[in-house]
Amino acid sequence: MKFNRICVLGLGYIGLPTASMFAANGVKVLGVDVNPQVIETLQRGEIHIYEPGLRGLVAQALESGNLTFALQPEPADAFIIAVPTPFYADKRADLSFVRSAAEAILPVLRAGSLVVLESTSPPRTTVDVVAPILNRSGLKAGEDFLLAYSPERVLPGQILKELVENARVIGGVSPASAEAGRELYRTFVKGEIHTTTATTAEMVKLMENTTRDVNIAIANEFARLADRFGVDVWEAISLANLHPRINILRPGPGVGGHCISVDPWFFVEAAPDLTTVIYAARTVNDSQPHFVLQLVKRALNDLNGKRIAALGLAYKPDIDDLRESPAVETAALLAKEGALVRTWEPFKPGHVVPGTRAAASLAEAVSDADLILLLVNHSQLRDLDPLELAKLTPARLALDTVGAWLPKNWEAAGFRLFRLGVGAPD
Ligand code: SAJ
């Protein structure tokens, strides 16, 4: 099958790199987004999201003349849906963006076209939600047009590399649909491409992120146990990981981001009777900011009026993404409990968490603090010299929730260092 012209719906963290990658590899691409501001920004040659290398790739795609933008799709050989699938407050999947993307394709769908859903979705979404919408065209999925599911699996911060190198799974509603998907992505994917059914491919994606969530939950539970039993969890994990078949992940203030803290709920919603472990893991990870709150209370006795410098707000190290961040939640919880919290996020200095104040610099954040709280393992925070920091702050208490700081260095600089997952020894 020949793909001369494709349409990518949704120009966020996945859609924009994907559209640009196809365009840079010689395919005519129409990038579609319902947000006029996004389209205007891109048409001006700017980009609205941060991802290393993305600006250059978009510029290259625009220069080639292959990438254009619009608010509505047009007829194409293939359509890729890469819109968000967030969840509602009660954790049910919000498929409204997937539905409206499918509805936008409806008027321009032609016999023989391929439609690929990339958005992370609950099991059976391609078959039970997308196919019925597209079938309203009078054409039938898997017979008159091709329909497949191919999960994005790229790691934020490394999207451009992983988009090309990662193995890719393409699940079709028919074998021909999966095969067409393989040909489409072969345009730029260097990793292996495996074909299967649409629902299998949906499950693969959810299983990957759920496994990571469960593994982080067990690490967090080990941290709580170590705290109770007077053990250093970081030492215990590194010793356990010497075993050839054990790889315990890192405890921390919780699990954030738009993927791992969201996707396991799709399984729970779809089959609540079968998801005991998955539900328990979500509960542990979601309650981890409350565990940190208890640690801060223990270090300061009483939170009321205490000044806390909260360092880092991103959901993980060395990125600027604050979505579902446990660091943000922890800062807000502390403020709610009466602490005076000043935050410092080096990747988003102006960002204000409700109830707290955003410092314009590290020095400002710590200038009158009673306690320094490390919430994200950003390289620049991990590498802070406690001797230098001691000159900037009256605080002599510090709490490390990510296993970044070496106790002997901090103690030598005059700090009492508390650490998540480290109980008081006998
Ligand atoms: N985290 C820990 N301990 C660890 C590892 C991570 O607490 O040992 C926390 C992080 O701090 C962060 C959260 O987990 O808050 C998630 O971070 P992550 O680096 O594990 O994953 P994401 O959400 O940035 O990206 C994941 C990736 N999935 C897997 O590694 C299985 C990525 O490949 C997916 O493409 C992405 O989700 C997605 O879009 O679904």
Domains and CATH numbers, the chain: 5-198 (3.40.50.720), 263-419 (3.40.50.720)
Ligand 1 and 155: CB distance under 6 A: yes
The verdict on whether 7 is a catalytic residue reads no
Say how many C-beta atoms besides its own lie within 10 A of residue 241's C-beta.
12
pTM across the whole model: 0.93
Q: Which residues pair with 410 in a beta bridge?
A: none
Distance 205 CA to ligand 1 centre (A): 13
DSSP conformational letter for 250: -
331-348 pLDDT, tens digit per residue, is 999 999 999 999 999 999
Task: Judge whether residue 49 has pLDDT over 90.
Answer: no
Distance 410 CA to ligand 1 centre (A): 29
Q: Do 338 and 305 form a contact (C-beta atoms < 8 A)? A: yes
The H or E element that residue 222 is part of is: helix 198-229
366-400 pLDDT, tens digit per residue, is 999 999 999 999 999 999 999 999 999 999 999 99
Ligand 1 and 249: CB distance under 6 A: yes
Per-residue burial over 171-200, b if 16 or more Cβ lie within 10 Å, else e, is: bbbbeebbbbbbebbeeebeeebebbbbbe
186-197 pLDDT, tens digit per residue, is 999 999 999 999
Pairing status of strand 78-81 against strand 67-70:
unpaired
Longest Cα–Cα distance of the chain, Å, equals 74
281-305 pLDDT, tens digit per residue, is 999 999 999 999 999 999 999 999 9
Ligand 1 and 316: CB distance under 6 A: yes
Q: Do 415 and 398 form a contact (C-beta atoms < 8 A)? A: yes
Phi/psi for 32 (5° steps) reads -120, 135
Q: Which atom of ligand 1 is nearest to the CA of 216?
A: 3
Average predicted confidence (pLDDT) for the chain: 96
Task: Judge whether residue 271 has pLDDT over 80.
Answer: yes
Distance 347 CA to ligand 1 centre (A): 18
Q: Burial of 417 by CB count in 10 Å (0-12 exposed, 13-18 middle, 19+ buried)? A: buried
Task: Write the residue with the smallest CA distance to atom 27 of ligand 1.
Answer: 155
Task: Judge whether residue 425 has pLDDT over 80.
Answer: no
Q: What is the pLDDT of residue 424?
A: 80
Phi/psi for 386 (5° steps) reads -60, -30
Structure tokens at 356: 């707290």
Q: What is the pLDDT of residue 423?
A: 93
Long-range contacts of 245-250 (CB under 8 A, 24+ apart): 248/215, 248/218, 248/219, 248/222, 249/212, 249/215, 249/216, 249/218, 249/219, 250/216, 250/219, 250/402, 250/403
CA distance 393 to 364: 9
State the helix-helix crossing angle for 198-229 and 233-240, rounded to 10 degrees. 130
Q: What is the pLDDT of residue 410?
A: 98
Distance 387 CA to ligand 1 centre (A): 33
The verdict on whether 2 is a catalytic residue reads no
Ramachandran region, residue 112 (left: φ > 0; alpha: ψ -120 to 50; beta: rest):
left
Say how many C-beta atoms besides its own lie within 10 A of residue 160's C-beta.
17
Distance (Å) of CA 65 to CA 16, 25, 38, 47: 16, 11, 19, 17
From 422, 296, 314, 320, select the one nearest 377 (Cα to Cα): 314
Q: Which atom of ligand 1 is nearest to the CA of 250?
A: 8
Q: What is the pLDDT of residue 2?
A: 87
